[in-house]
Chain A
Amino acid sequence: KAGVTQTPRYLIKTRGQQVTLSCSPISGHRSVSWYQQTPGQGLQFLFEYFSETQRNKGNFPGRFSGRQFSNSRSEMNVSTLELGDSALYLCASSFTSGSQDEQFFGPGTRLTVL
């Protein structure tokens, strides 16, 4: 069974630009969550999508947005990039059967903002 796939794996952008990151969940998984990982703040929850609907959102500015498609693939977008947005962005998928299903993380997209 293929794992969670994230593309691209590495990105370099400059301040003020925008970026779109992509996540393909494990086949059959309907929930996709996004996390930001930095040395200073650790792992922080961005948002979670289930059946194309955002179910939960973390404490991030509106520059961070996401969406989920009917095939459960998800994208997150960051507009007007700031230096502090440099981070590893992780996507996790879950089956969601109503109980606590394991979240499977992808390898992440390393974003560097110059």
Chain B
Amino acid sequence: QQQVKQSPQSLIVQKGGISIINCAYENTAFDYFPWYQQFPGKGPALLIAIRPDVSEKKEGRFTISFNKSAKQFSLHIMDSQPGDSATYFCAATLLGDYKLSFGAGTTVTVRA
């Protein structure tokens, strides 16, 4: 069963706009939530990660918002650029574990 649900499946945003991707998880034991970015022909690459003891983490144009009580977390891409066009995956795991449960992925297209 899908332990992490991700939406939307795809989105199109204009250059300079904001992309928002949402994820919800089932297992309350999860305590590490990374986001991965994948370009065609490449493996996923870690973008940013958060632990549930903080509600928000920002790295450059990328921000994770985390709502522990709702078991939800989201990725915001500010000032989206054409180079951000990729597939984004949320994931969850137990801290110290390496078994990642991935969301289904969101394909982001940034139009110039």
Contacts and interface: CB of A to CB of B under 8 A. Distances in A.
B20 to A, nearest CB: 20
A106 B43 contact: yes
A: interface residue count bin:
20 to 34
Report whether over half of chain B's contact residues are helix, strand or loop; otherwise say mixed.
Answer: loop
A40 B13 CA distance: 25
A100 B89 CA distance: 18
Interface residues of B, number: 21
B60 interface: no
Interface string A25-60: 000000101010000001111001000000110100
Given A42-B102, A45-B101, A105-B43, 16 more contacts: A33-B99, A42-B89, A42-B103, A42-B104, A43-B102, A44-B102, A58-B99, A92-B98, A100-B49, A100-B96, A102-B46, A103-B100, A104-B45, A105-B44, A105-B45, A107-B42
11 contacts: A42-B102, A45-B99, A45-B101, A56-B97, A56-B98, A56-B99, A100-B95, A103-B100, A104-B45, A105-B43, A105-B45
